[in-house]
Structure 1
Amino acid sequence: MDHTEREAKMKSRDLRWSEIFSDALQLILESLSLPDFHRARTVCSTWYSVSKSCLHRYPWLIRFPKKLTVTTDSRNLFDPVAYKWYETRSLGDDELSESRCLASYGNWLLMLNPRIDFSVLNVFSGERIDLPELSLRGEVSLRRKDDGDFLLEHSSVDRETIIERYVKRAVLWIDERTRDFVVSWIYNDRYLFSYKKGDDCWWHFHGTECLDMAYKDSKLFVYTSDHFIEILDFDSPSPNEITGDENPYWNRPFQFVPQLGEYFWKTRVAIDDSGDVLIVVSLKAFPVNKEERLFYVFKMNLEGDEWERLDSLGGDKVLVFGDGVIVAASDGGGKIKRDSIYFVADDVYPLRSPSMLQSCGTFDLATAKLSWSRCPYFLSNIRWFVPGSDRK
């Protein structure tokens, strides 16, 4: 090998970023801002693996500007620890304003546009995965147009209204490394649809009327309209329902009778680290001379067959109400409220005298105190999400 060939080979090796020593790479990753850190995680499998040792987990806000809002500010990500807004370089305001965000998982968002097309977007890299059009497998009572496309109920209403009013809940799970993913969504509290990477069309689960759901370890936990927990197993070519003794919640409905002056607003399903189902209720209560917004958390006592109210999520955990996500939060310099529920204004019963600036907040389970945060972008929709959370 002559000098020129040796020099070319050395230069080639110099460009193999995946061969940087892990200690040096960790120092590089830790020096980056969080948006750049999450972009760097996607460079290669080595960088992704090393990044897990320095991953910070806590809720961020993402802003979805309204279509008619005139602004030149493209800062759409808010880090509550650094108290700083960042620009989503790969996602412009048009991308975020024309579609509705239905769910999040780590760095990924499940989006639905006015044409009723679904896509999965990476907040930091801008990577996009388009899901197939809404053609369905399984018995379904949706009407079919002359051209073969399915029509949702209320099709006389414009599609934007359908999306805002009738597509209420969805879940997303995605493997950051392999890009395997699962998407499920509920239409009008009646129809449950799902799509898994590799499917040739959407699945519809006939007879499953549901209010909420959560996904973990290849299983979809569905909270039905009659207050039971159904479990669908996705670890097979087609989703299968788990029944009988294999479903610990079988024939054990969630039963909670509000006290006098308590009014339900929303219910979410979440899955804790042990795989147990939690049911989280947002409600309004009327103590003496005032009204309060509260969150109650319930867990099934499998020995006593009863849903019991919890006063803690356990240690350093936080729950993002919008997605029903529980994560063990990193310290964040003491700025992250542990054992708390992170919410946005729409997650709680409407205020009598709403303030446009009171757009998000936290609920401390230990003290049952709700604290509002003031967000300057009150003309936009905002949402909590947890960047980089490697949940299963």
Structure 2
Amino acid sequence: MEGTPSCIQWSELPMDILRSVFELLSFVDFNRAKLVNRNWYLCSKQTSPRIDKSPWLILFPHDGGCALYNPNEARVYKTKRDLSDIRFLANSGNWFLVLDSKLDLCIIDLFSDKKIHLPALDMSTKSSLGRQGTRYSSAGTAGDLRGLLWVDEKKEEYVVVWYFGWNTESLAFCKNGEDHYRKVPGSIDLEYICDIVLIRGDSIYISRYHDALVTKHDLSGQEGSKVMFGQDIETLFRRLHDLRTYSCNVAVTLSGEVLLVESIVNKSTMSRIFYLYKKGSKDYDAVKVDSLGDEAMLLDLGITVPADHTLGIEPNSIYFTRDGRACNLGPDSSCLDICVFNLATKTIKRFFPGLGLGPSNNLSIKDARWFLPS
């Protein structure tokens, strides 16, 4: 027809064709495509993306920024955004809690330009961050600052927790709509902290080294703080000796059961083994758990997820990257080790031996963490 263009611009594709294209895209490509223009963004809202429930790895190369690795595809995605001047503290789905070069906290969506500014830290905290930054981080940010994040995208709610991973009692949080941070209710001693997880935005679970104790802290303040359970200390100390290093993390299963996760490394052989415990019938009583059944544990997030062989999620397994993420234990006791530990066979499968991604990618990693894209 006269006046009809010989070709159609990508931005002018009919909606039904565009939807068909979106349905074929991988998770990362889907999120990239929706940012092309307004029409593509509107189409993405009307399209169901391909569901990928497999855990991913976010990787932090030595040259700055970050990359994403999908074990199901065995593919690395490089981020296009310049992320070299920020430090990642925690994540919930696609949302990441970060500390920028100005020592301000914010939440960013890794797959879009969405950003949520958080209340400013007080001057005394920033001053402390600056001093620690010159001591622990070449970027000038705080190597000791730690964070937790929970986001409900549908309800547009979030909870942010920050604290220092060393001998301090600082543990503060804020929720959406609040303009300042509040201290977590109750008396909390972080001197011997090993791990902290934030569950459903309303509860914090803490595990400690010196007594292998798990405590729960209600952010609303209505229930206060309470001891969940702990390991038998005499048994614990008999099992440990000078050749081993020990950590005790905490995780919450799909059913809401709280688990103490002991990790023991033999320094002479560098072999690792995990033990799981749950609350027994008596106070301070811990009962050994032999299996996670058809669930897999993401130790970096402190949760379990449904296992699925078709997605590459191994059942009765623990996915982890390093010990001591919750506290500053030094480089020797917090070594990066991207692994899956099978509880039934007591064997470990390692990703990227030598902390690289093979000769084709040659990506040297200084840190990594498992996360679930949403």
- Aligned residue number for residue 83 of structure 1: 74
Q: What is the root-mean-square deviation in Å for CA atoms of aligned residues?
A: 4.0
Alpha-carbon distance, 1:151 to partner:
3.8
TM, length-normalised to structure 1: 0.70
Contact 2:132–2:144, Cα closer than 8 Å, also in 1: no
Q: Distance in 1 between matches of 2:62 and 2:135?
A: 17
Contact 1:297–1:310, Cα closer than 8 Å, also in 2: yes
Q: 3-state SS of the aligned residue for 1:36?
A: helix
Matches within 5 A, 1:157-306: 158=134, 161=137, 163=141, 165-167=143-145, 169-187=146-164, 188-190=166-168, 191-205=170-184, 207-210=187-190, 211=193, 212-223=195-206, 225=208, 227-233=213-219, 239-240=220-221, 242-243=223-224, 250=227, 252-256=229-233, 257-258=236-237, 259-261=239-241, 263-285=244-266, 290-302=269-281, 306=285
- Aligned residue number for residue 115 of structure 2: 128
Question: Does 2:342 match 1:364?
Answer: yes
Contact 1:312–1:366, Cα closer than 8 Å, also in 2: yes
How far does the alpha carbon of each residue in 1:68-127 deviate from its partner, in whole angstroms, 9 at most, with x for none? x7xxxx8811111111112323x23xx1x3222111111121112343211212121232
Indicate the larger mover: 187-196 or 250-259: 250-259
Question: Does 2:373 match 1:388?
Answer: yes
Matches within 5 A, 1:293-372: 293-302=272-281, 306-315=285-294, 317-332=295-310, 335-344=312-321, 359-372=337-350
Change (3 A) 1:268 1:34: same
Q: Distance in 2 between matches of 1:224 and 1:347?
A: 12
Alpha-carbon distance, 1:16 to partner:
11
Which of residues 74, 88, 109 in structure 2 aligns to 1:101? Answer: 88
- Aligned residue number for residue 11 of structure 1: none
Q: Distance in 2 between matches of 1:175 and 1:251?
A: 26
Q: Which protein, 1 or 2, shows the higher relative CO under an 8 Å CA cutoff with sep ≥ 6?
A: 1
What runs of 5+ residues in structure 1 fail to find an aligned partner? 1-13, 136-143, 234-238
Alpha-carbon distance, 1:183 to partner:
0.9
- State the aligned residue count: 332
- Aligned residue number for residue 5 of structure 2: none
Q: Distance in 2 between matches of 1:88 and 1:100?
A: 15
Contact 1:105–1:385, Cα closer than 8 Å, also in 2: no
Q: Distance in 2 between matches of 1:214 and 1:242?
A: 17
Q: Distance in 2 between matches of 1:126 and 1:159?
A: 32
Contact 1:359–1:378, Cα closer than 8 Å, also in 2: no
Change (3 A) 1:155 1:164: closer
Change (3 A) 1:156 1:360: closer
Change (3 A) 1:264 1:186: farther
Which of residues 128, 134, 158 in structure 2 aligns to 1:152? Answer: 128
Q: Distance in 2 between matches of 1:159 and 1:178?
A: 40
- Aligned residue number for residue 6 of structure 1: none
Alpha-carbon distance, 1:229 to partner:
0.6
Q: 3-state SS of the aligned residue for 2:179?
A: coil
Change (3 A) 1:308 1:383: same
Q: Distance in 1 between matches of 2:285 and 2:323?
A: 30
Alpha-carbon distance, 1:338 to partner:
2.5
Change (3 A) 1:171 1:379: same
How far does the alpha carbon of each residue in 1:127-179 deviate from its partner, in whole angstroms, 9 at most, with x for none? 222212113xxxxxxxx65xxx7643894763754855422x42111112343
Alpha-carbon distance, 1:291 to partner:
4.2
Matches within 5 A, 1:103-122: 103-122=90-109
Letter in 2 for 1:152: S
Q: Distance in 2 between matches of 1:388 and 1:332?
A: 17
How far does the alpha carbon of each residue in 1:169-216 deviate from its partner, in whole angstroms, 9 at most, with x for none? 421111123431111122125311111111110112373223232222
Alpha-carbon distance, 1:364 to partner:
0.9
Q: Distance in 1 between matches of 2:222 and 2:244?
A: 32
Which of residues 62, 76, 82 in structure 1 aligns to 2:58? Answer: 62
Q: 3-state SS of the aligned residue for 1:280?
A: strand
Change (3 A) 1:308 1:123: same
Identity across matched positions, percent: 24
